[in-house]
Amino acid sequence: MEIKHRIVSTNGIKMHIAEAGTGPSVLMCHGFPESWYSWRHQLIALADAGFHAVAPDMRGYGQTDSPEDMEQFTLLHLVGDIVGLLDALEAPQAAIVGHDWGAPVAWHAALMRPDRFRGVVGLSVPHRPRQAGTERPTSLMPQTPDAMFYQLYFQQPGVAEAEFERDHRRTVRNLLYGGSGAARETAQPVGGDVDFYATGMVPRGGGLLGTRPDPSALPSWLTEADVDFYAGEFKRVGFRGGLNWYRNIDRNWEFLAPWVGAKVTVPALYMAGDRDLVLSFRGIAQLLPALKQFVPNLQDTIILPGCGHWTQQERPNEVNTAVIKFLRSLG
């Protein structure tokens, strides 16, 4: 079985996809700072299990178009891209899997178009419903006189780009290692009291990468060749597209008002690592026990011991086994 690549048209942009196998379609949406390559362990495994596995470079990443207008990176655009991808594949329906930022895309695709998405798997990020009476998300993000939540640091165009693009390879190596289960086990701040990988906070007047040194060795799941691939993609296209997803967080909140009270009704699976920084975000500890209220057909919640943020890359065998079992249960 081999992974094939092609460019398709969807929602007014050109999208690069990697695909393998034949059978019922499964779309896999990556997060930040990643690419289709994040699903390299799943593409062949799902194809061998009898599925048509498809992993796109999402809008703003890799070989997929990155519109100039920052406002063209909302969840409505991103869900539209994936619905259009189904049309390009001539697939009436598909299951959808998402990790990191790809998880909200997957959850909302299932929320908005249950006629097209027959099942959803969220990795790392659970479904966070838009609720009535809430405030703009950025107004609730933690900040102190000395530090701000990293998603606030990403808001000003050009700031994070300037830091990340000084050395694309160091950036990718640092972020992928730093969010891993191995790094979280031994996390120590470089200086002061701010450690991004323990708190999600970025010191004011500093940068995100300075909170951890460049690792001397990589964990077993990540090779220098993997780092080279990611770094090469970001050196070619930059980080602006991926960061623009964060710059639409409040706009997403506005646009999702029509879905207040709506539930994800299709069968669902949620998986995360117990060392994933996302699990320590404000509100997540309270959300997980109540997740079934918003996703009533949630089949299972799986927490992987010792696993960090990069779920499908750190624990490919466990993720493949659970996802294939879930997909087969859809019939």
- Kindly list the domain boundaries of the chain, sorted by start residue: 4-135+258-329, 137-243
Residue spans of beta strands (DSSP E) within the chain: 4-10, 13-20, 25-29, 52-56, 94-99, 117-123, 147-149, 201-203, 268-273, 298-304
- Asked if 143 and 152 count as a contact pair (C-beta separation under 8 A), the reply is yes
Correct CATH for 4-135+258-329 of 3.30.70.120, 3.90.1330.10, 3.40.50.1820, 3.20.20.10:
3.40.50.1820
pLDDT of residue 190: 42
CA 257/CA 193 separation, integer angstroms:
38
Q: Which of 57, 65, 81, 100 is catalytic?
A: 100
pLDDT of residue 187: 52
- Annotated catalytic residue 100: yes
Q: Which of 30, 77, 168, 309 is catalytic?
A: 309
How many other C-beta atoms lie within 10 A of the C-beta of residue 305?
Answer: 9
pLDDT of residue 13: 98
The string of pLDDT tens digits covering residues 188-241 is 444 445 567 677 899 998 899 976 667 888 999 999 999 999 999 999 999 999
CA 195/CA 246 separation, integer angstroms:
21
For residue 253, give the nearest of 128, 120, 156 by alpha carbon.
128
From residue 228, how far is each of 67, 170, 171, 223, 328 by CA, in Å? 25, 10, 11, 9, 35
- Annotated catalytic residue 30: no
User: Low-confidence residues of the chain, pLDDT below 70?
Assistant: 185-195, 197, 211-213
Residues 6+ away with beta carbon under 8 Å from 254: none
Label residue 11 left, alpha or beta by phi (over 0 means left) and psi (-120 to 50 means alpha): left
pLDDT of residue 283: 86
Q: What is the DSSP letter of 323?
A: H
